[in-house]
Amino acid sequence: MPALLRPALEPFLDLLRCPVCRGSLRPDRGALRCATGHTFDIARQGYVSLLTGTRATSGDDTAMVQARNRFLSTGRYAPIRRTLARLTADALPGRGTVVDVGCGTGYYLAGVLDQLPDARGLGLDASVCALRSAARAHQRAAAASWDVFRPFPLVDQAADVVLDVFAPRNPSEFHRVLRPSGRLIVVRPTERHLAELRGHLPAMVTIDPDKEQRLQQALGPFFEAAVTRHVAYTAPLTRQEAIDLLGMTPSARHLTHADLGAHGLLPDQVTVSVLATSYQPR
């Protein structure tokens, strides 16, 4: 039986474009199809598969998604989500469209939409495993598979707010799909983020000390920083939460099962330290 078009996806049909020919897309027997005939299946979980040709090589696998869902459900990252929601509400006080690029399981987009009852959201991610959760994360959130490094399958000036939370960035495309009055909100870690875990596990991916400078250089031609919030606190961790926190990060690809499960090596608390900046288009 063909997958049905989810109600959350329908409002985005006017904003989505065929990634092959840039034509408009319309629903047709469990898929989206352009006038030329390019067809993109709607998965039974509700997301639409827009990636074509060579697939993205990044993205969370099943184990990472399961770890992410378990950890985020503990509320340890809730202060980050609340800060993101406040910044979005300041940029979008009424109706509007939020696009979350690299949305993962949809945790942050859902938190934003909870605070914006008149907004709609679209999550883009390369991970099919993550999109299965993102498509069901919120009743006003749609989801589609996409690679952040390719031109987005969206019309110009489609979004009022673009979110980028712990995700890769494509500044020129962020700028293209944002309305002139819109905002780009970027959340990224500081050098202190998860310092205790990195101290216990040297194999973890480190945070480049020049990361912030490179971010500003990349965004500078397109955006100007409007406001920045530093979210910093110490969170307690159970042993399972520590394992899940490691398992949901890019470090999971570099750590062995012995690293993740070694007795006595995991801390019982961790520093959370991220910057959240709202940028206005130049």
What gap in Å lies between CA 28 and CA 41, rounded to an integer? 9
Residue 103 in marked binding region: no
DSSP tally for the chain: helices H, then strands E: 9, 11
> What DSSP letter does each residue of 202-225 carry, written as one string?
TTSPPPPTTHHHHHHHHHTTTEEE
Task: Give the integer Cα–Cα distance in Å for 282 and 279.
Answer: 9
**Hey, what are 235's tokens?**
């969170």
CA distance 259 to 194: 16
Please check if 230 is assigned to a binding site. Answer: no
Q: Per the annotation, does 193 bind a ligand?
A: yes
- Give me 195's structure tokens: 């310092």
Distance of CA 207 to the CA centre of its chain: 19
Q: Is 77 marked as a binding-site residue?
A: yes
34 has binding-site annotation = yes
Side-chain half-sphere CA neighbours of 268 within 13 A: 2
Does 129 count as an annotated binding residue?
no
Q: 217 to each of 131, 165, 220, 264, how far by Cα in Å?
A: 31, 18, 5, 41
* Token representation of residue 90: 């300041």
Phi, psi of 243 (to 5 degrees): -65, -40
The answer to whether the annotation marks 138 as part of a ligand binding site is: no
Closest Cα partner for 189 from 167, 218, 158, 222?
Answer: 167
Backbone phi, psi, residue 215, to 5°: -60, -50
The annotation places the binding site at 18, 21, 34, 38, 77, 105-106, 193
The annotation places the binding site for S-adenosyl-L-methionine at 77, 105-106, 193
The annotation places the binding site for Zn(2+) at 18, 21, 34, 38
